[in-house]
Structures are given as structure tokens and as C-alpha cells.
Chain A
């Protein structure tokens, strides 16, 4: 197998330009999908037979929760690649994904709380799903704080990567928490195997939102990565040429 494409991809000048070109290809589809998903979820989908219109919170809650885990997986996998193959760009991906993931985690917790109050009668409950998601937020904040506290970038990269990898154990715990423990939280609506427990008019806006949020993450990640690459490459000659343009 030839690895030249990989080395080219991981070379900072090439990646910096590629990320800039890719951003609109993520951003515009994301924007259109999110608008379509919002319209589908708020207007077209029928009210739930048990939760009435309150169920519509799912259209922002579930995609946020999905992104909170997707961003963490991205961060941890990039961290592993950075540790094993010593690719600096991989550490940059890790660092760029963290704040976005932290915001999605916050969003999942806050919208979950707003959903829990009318349906469960409480804003918060120390049950498995909610607590493990809160731990995810602390992992993100810990990762960000740890990186910020170490001046030497290479050491910050390695220390952060280790924390990200240790924390990945939390992802299956979040996912399976609704099966492993008695919890207020409902089980999965969409499963890979078997039929989703939702009618199609309710389901499609949710799937559209999932796709939109994922592409949105791609767009924001690309922009943050460009900033990361500049900060890491500030004395490189390609950057002089790039900035002079």
C-alpha cells in the first residue's frame, strides 16, 4: 500500500488549503439540512400520542447528544493516531474538536433538562444516562484545561491525548446506560438493527437533523483546524507565502 496520499494529507500547507476549500462543502449542505430538519420537526411531524408537541425537543436534543459523542470519538481517535504515529496534525484535530464537542454536550444536557421537566417532573436526576453525559462534559473541560495549562505544545499534545484516550471508556457507558441500569431516560429510538420505534413522518426530520449536525461539525472543525495549523506552523516558510497572498 502506498502511503504518499496520507503524508500529503497530513502535510500542514496542503491540509490548510484543503480545509479551506472543504469548509463550504460541509457548511452549505449542513445549513440546508438543518433548516429542512427544523421545518420537518416543528411543522410537518405529527404530535406524539403520549408527549404531544413536547416530544419535538428530540429534534435538537438527540442530534446534540449524538454530536457530543461523535466529537469525542473524533478527538480520541485523532489523539491515538497522534500518539502512535506522532502526526502533529492529528493532535491539532483533537484540540480543535474539543470545544465543539463540549458545547454540544452542554446543549444535550440543557435540552434534556428542558425535556425532563414536563415529562419526568424533574430538571435533573442522578441516573446513569444523565450522569455519564455530565461526566463527558467534565472530560471535555478537563481536556481543554489540561492542554491550556501546559506551555510546551508537544507535551500538551501528549498529555491531552492520554486523557482523551482514558476518557473514551465513557462512550459505551453513555450509550448502553439505558440498558444496563434502570433509568428515567428512554431507550434508543433509532437502532442499527431492527425497526426504529417511530413513524416515518417523525423519523425523517430526525435523520435529516443528524446528517445536518454531523456536516456542521465538519465545517466548524475545518475552520478551527486552520487556526490550529497556523498556531503550530507560525515559523514555517509556507505560512509566509500563504499569508502574503
Chain B
């Protein structure tokens, strides 16, 4: 099978590729959002900790 034939997906390219593309975007987004969520929580807690040290 050659590349153009593979990309054409037997005429279903406009349905197949957006499906796979969208799913990959969602998968990547979920990972990034989770990491941001964790990092933001850490940072917030650190700031809180630093502020509480200044005012005992």
C-alpha cells in the first residue's frame, strides 16, 4: 500500500482523519490539563506556605 492510498482511506479520509486527530488532541489535552492542575496546586500551596512563614 502506498502513502496517498493510505491517506485517502478508501474515500473516507474526511471522516477518518478528523476522528483520529480529535481523539489525539483530547488525549494530549487531558494530560496537559492534569499536569497544570497539579502544578498550580503545588504552587498555590507553596505561596501559602511562604506567606504563613512571614506572619507567624
B45 touches A223 (CB 8 A): no
Produce 1/0 per residue, B29-56, CB < 8 A to A: 1110111011111101110110000000
Contact A42 B20 (CB under 8 A): yes
Chain B residues with CB under 8 A of A107: 22-23, 26
Q: Kindly provide the distance from the CB of B6 to the nearest chain A CB, expressed in whole angstroms.
A: 7
Contacts A52-B11, A99-B33: A227 and B19 contacting too (C-beta < 8 A)?
no
Residues of A within 8 A of B (CB): 34, 38, 42-43, 47, 52-54, 56-57, 59-61, 64, 99-100, 103-104, 106-107, 110-111, 114-115, 117-118, 216, 219-220, 223-224, 226-228, 230-231, 234, 239-240, 243
A99 to B30, CA, bound (A): 8
- Let me know if B4 is at the binding interface, CB within 8 A: no
Docked Cα-Cα span, A196 to B7, in Å, equals 29
**Distance, CA A57 to CA B33, complexed state (A):** 25
Given contacts A56-B16, A114-B18, A216-B27, contact A224 B44 (CB under 8 A): no
A33 to B16, CA, bound (A): 20
Across the interface, do A223 and B37 meet the contact criterion of CB distance under 8 Å? yes
Is there an interface contact between B34 and A230, defined as CB atoms closer than 8 Å?
A: no
CA distance A53 to B6 in the complex (A): 9
Question: Inside 8 A of A115's CB, which chain B residues have their CB?
Answer: 15, 19
Most buried by B among A38, A53, A110, A231: A53
**Closest-CB distance, A44 to chain B (whole angstroms):** 11
